[in-house]
Amino acid sequence: MGSVCIDRIGELVTNDPGGTDRPAEDVTDDAHRLGIRRDTAVVVDDGRIAWIGRAGEAGPTDERIDVEGCAVLPAFVDSHSHLIFGGDRTAEFDARMRGERYAAGGIRTTVAATRAADDATLLANATHLLREMRRQGTGTVEIKSGYGLSVHDEARSLTIAGRLTDETTYLGAHVPGPEFADDVDGYVALVTGAMLDACAPLARWIDVFVEQGAFGADAARTILTAGRARGLGLKVHANQLRPGPGVQVACEMGAASADHCTHLSEADVAALADSGTVATLVPGADFSTRSPVYPDGRRLVDAGATVALATDCNPGTSFTTSMPFCIALAVRECGLSPAEAVWAATAGGAAALRRDDVGRIAVGLPAALTVLDAPSHVHLAYRPGVPLTRPLLAPRPDQAVGASDHSG
Which residues here bind Fe ion, judged by CB under 5 A?
Answer: 312
Q: How far is the CB of 126 from ligand NIG (least distance, A)?
A: 15
Where in 98-127 is the site for ligand NIG (CB under 6 A)? 106-107, 110
Of 14-22, 162-170, 228-236, 313-321, which part binds ligand NIG (CB under 6 A)? Answer: 313-321
Q: How far apart are CA 142 and CA 359, in angstroms?
A: 14
Q: Which is nearer to Fe ion, 42 or 104 (CB)?
A: 104
Q: How far is the CB of 236 from ligand NIG (least distance, A)?
A: 11
Binding residues with ligand NIG: total (CB under 6 A): 12
DSSP conformational letter for 293: S
Question: What backbone phi and psi angles, to 5 degrees, belong to 150?
Answer: -130, 160
* Cβ atoms of residues 58 and 41 within 8 Å: yes
Q: How far apart are CA 233 and CA 116, in angstroms?
A: 30
Q: How far is the CB of 316 from Fe ion (least distance, A)?
A: 9
Nearest to 78, CA basis, from 244, 257, 312: 312
DSSP conformational letter for 179: G
Contacts with ligand NIG, 275-304, as mask; x by CB under 6 A? ----------x-------------------
Q: Which does 335 bind (CB under 5 to 8 A by kind): ligand NIG, Fe ion, none?
A: none
Where in 230-259 is the site for ligand NIG (CB under 6 A)? 237, 240
Q: Which does 139 bind (CB under 5 to 8 A by kind): ligand NIG, Fe ion, none?
A: none
Indicate whether 176 belongs to the interface with ligand NIG (CB under 6 A).
Answer: no
Provide DSSP, 273-303: HHSS-EEEE-HHHHHHTT-SS---HHHHHHH
Distance set, CA 337 to CA 70, 248, 274, 343 (Å): 20, 27, 22, 10
Q: How far is the CB of 237 from Fe ion (least distance, A)?
A: 5
* Cβ atoms of residues 208 and 169 within 8 Å: no
Residue with the closest Cβ to ligand NIG?
316
List, in order, residues 6 or more apart from 298 with CB less than 8 Å away. 334, 335, 336
Indicate whether 96 belongs to the interface with ligand NIG (CB under 6 A).
Answer: no
Partners of 12 in beta bridges: 37, 72
Q: How far apart are CA 123 and CA 115, in angstroms?
A: 13
Among 76, 93, 187, 209, binds ligand NIG (CB under 6 A): 209
What residues make contact with ligand NIG under the rule CB under 6 A? Answer: 106-107, 110, 209, 237, 240, 285, 312, 314, 316-318
